[in-house]
Amino acid sequence: MLQTLPRRAVVALLALSVFFPLGLVIYQSVLSGPFFMPAAKLSLESFAFIFDDPDFWSAAKNTFAVAIGMSVIAIPLGAILAFIMVRTDLPGRKWLETPILIPIFVSPVVLGFGYVVSLGPVGFFSVWFQELFGGVPWNIYSLASIIVIAGLTHVPHVYLYSSSALRNLGSDVEEAARLSGASPFRVARDVSIPMVSPALLYVGVLVFFLGFEIFGLPLILGDPEGHLVLTTYLYKLTNKLGTPSYHLMAAVATCIIAVTFPLVLLQRALLKNAQRFVSMKGKSARQRPLMLGPWKWLAFGLILAWLFITVVVPVSGIALRSVVSSWGQGVNLLEVLTLDHFHAVFEENTMIRSIINSVLIGTLGGALAVGGYLAIGLTTHRKNDGLSRFVDYIVLTPRAIPGLMAGLAVFWVFLFVPFLAPLRSTLFSVWFAYAVVWLAYGMRLIQSALMQVGPELEEAGRLVGASNARVSRDITVPLVRNGLLGAWLLIFMIFEREYSTGVYLLSPGTEVIGAQIVSLWASGAVDVVAALSLINMALVGIGLAVALRFGVKLHD
């Protein structure tokens, strides 16, 4: 709750931060060249070009295939995982809670790279598998592999939403089904999961929509066989005409936004619906775990197998690649062990800077972002007026823009807005792009923390004579302190993991590990990529450990 003037100032700043870059992208898409070149004029030729390009259509087709395939894989698996974790007496549930969320916090480029070195044609696991069985039945570079991996790595997203819905469901309905003679599997299929279907529908849209934005996996896995999705097509346009084609890239981004923005709105509508559904059922939430009996070992095995494929395989591949100088068929790994890649990283100023910057942007930048999100959260907190609804929509908008393009737009903003120009080569520009791209995510964390504060605690403050601002300062903010700490740690991990947004913002002084990996990957410095990836995962791991130490819930 802020006073009118600061409130309007916060909203104005927010609107500017979101709509200026977005507007620039859309404006750029209807020009014939880069918007800053005098020769550029209004024209639809960029759209004409991409619609005429068979690559665009094949990328669009692949994108839909990825989005649909991902949903088809992730939703049932995520829902079943949630059911097993929340409603049954699975052994080691407490212990498993953290590992199953890891895929959310590992950068997809790192994962993609991990799969290449583990399951690629001569990957560590492939070679080993081949020696045992004489052949490898998978092809990691196929579109199907991309879809399966994308699906498996998005299981935790589905898990998060369906588990919180399941937690609010009274266990009596399941017990009733069990007494009527249903096996645990039937209980899940016939009772529990249908009852959380609104939450599943919501997360279904979310996953489908994330399918439109995945970049890291297809960038790395789709390259060798030329499988493009819209984001990698966009990235490829950087070069296709020999000279950069900002207008074409902006046109592709506009096409992506045209699909994702309605999905964002749909999601918002569904979220309201899902919440209503859950709270309606949530009254009698009395939870007793369902006895799985012998099924529990099957369930346990399934979860371990999934974790093995999505976490252990790629991560161990990277770890191994980072300490060998060579790999593949006929290479004895013991002979090629080396710490040179780490030496190379720590001898190189830009690498060291990128590590320091990544830490800075996660810690300091994360705190600053949480502060900004909090300011926005307070402008809408307990206010249901036009301005609040406006903020609601602005906050969701950046989700619709691919991070890659958002980073480029922010680069333009910092280039051409005079008073921002001196900040362009500073970490501030990267922070700004990150903070805008992750606005919706951060705001959800903040808003759910703010909603925990009983309204009467704030009203009591008003009644005894505190202004809105005083109430925020003396009551609301101190009460959400733990929520803010949690948000900060989660933002830290998300910022460590981010990669695409920084790609076009990379310059001396603004290096961050994620973008550095993309850039190094493009130039083929695989040794260093492996070492940096490992360092990146270590940073996320530290964040995770601290979060757990402080008892931060990794989800709401």
Binding site for another protein (CB under 8 A): 34, 36-37, 54, 120-122, 223-226, 236, 238-244, 246, 325-331, 340, 344, 348-350, 411-412, 415-416, 421, 454, 456-457, 459-468, 470, 474-475, 478-479, 504, 506-508, 519, 521-526
Closer to another protein by Cβ: residue 66 or 453: 453
Q: Which amino acid is at 454?
A: G
Nearest approach, Cβ of 536 to another protein (angstroms)? 19
Q: Under a CB-based contact definition with an 8 Å cutoff, are residues 217 and 112 in contact? A: yes
Closer to another protein by Cβ: residue 23 or 478: 478
Closer to another protein by Cβ: residue 33 or 103: 33
Closer to another protein by Cβ: residue 294 or 524: 524
Question: Any idea what DSSP says for residue 254?
Answer: H
Nearest approach, Cβ of 44 to another protein (angstroms)? 16
| Nearest by Cα to 395 from 446, 351, 436 | 436
Closer to another protein by Cβ: residue 432 or 438: 432
Nearest approach, Cβ of 51 to another protein (angstroms)? 14
Q: Under a CB-based contact definition with an 8 Å cutoff, are residues 495 and 339 in contact? A: no
Nearest approach, Cβ of 350 to another protein (angstroms)? 5
Both tokens assigned to 306 = 């999934």
Q: Which amino acid is at 431?
A: W
Burial of 216 (0-12, 13-18, 19+ CB in 10 A): buried
Residue 496 to residue 355: CA distance in whole angstroms: 10
Cα radius of gyration rounded to whole Å, the chain:
24
Residue 30 to residue 254: CA distance in whole angstroms: 10
Nearest approach, Cβ of 507 to another protein (angstroms)? 6
Q: Under a CB-based contact definition with an 8 Å cutoff, are residues 100 and 174 in contact? A: no
Closer to another protein by Cβ: residue 49 or 306: 49
Nearest approach, Cβ of 323 to another protein (angstroms)? 14
Q: Which helix (H) or strand (E) holds 65?
A: helix 54-87
Q: Under a CB-based contact definition with an 8 Å cutoff, are residues 370 and 449 in contact? A: no
Closer to another protein by Cβ: residue 125 or 246: 246
Nearest approach, Cβ of 3 to another protein (angstroms)? 10
Nearest approach, Cβ of 399 to another protein (angstroms)? 26
Nearest approach, Cβ of 171 to another protein (angstroms)? 28
Closer to another protein by Cβ: residue 4 or 181: 4
| Nearest by Cα to 2 from 133, 56, 13 | 13
Residue 378 to residue 97: CA distance in whole angstroms: 32
Closer to another protein by Cβ: residue 99 or 224: 224
Dihedral sign computed on CA atoms, order 431, 410, 420, 20: negative
Nearest approach, Cβ of 382 to another protein (angstroms)? 10
Cα-based distances in Å from 130 to 4, 122, 134: 68, 9, 5
* Crossing angle for the helix pair 246-281 and 230-240, to the nearest 10 degrees: 170
Nearest approach, Cβ of 282 to another protein (angstroms)? 19
Cα-based distances in Å from 378 to 396, 426, 468, 556: 17, 29, 10, 19
Nearest approach, Cβ of 242 to another protein (angstroms)? 5
Closer to another protein by Cβ: residue 280 or 384: 384
Residue 498 to residue 354: CA distance in whole angstroms: 13
The label of the residue with tokens 């260093």 reads 528
Closer to another protein by Cβ: residue 105 or 412: 412
Both tokens assigned to 320 = 């191994």
Closer to another protein by Cβ: residue 80 or 237: 237
Cα-based distances in Å from 167 to 81, 152, 162, 170, 519: 13, 23, 9, 8, 43
Dihedral sign computed on CA atoms, order 192, 196, 200, 203: negative
**Three-state DSSP class for residue 251:** helix
Nearest approach, Cβ of 201 to another protein (angstroms)? 27
Residue 371 to residue 484: CA distance in whole angstroms: 9
Give residues with Cβ within 8 angstroms of 149, minimum separation 6: 111, 112, 115, 217, 221, 310
Closer to another protein by Cβ: residue 6 or 328: 328
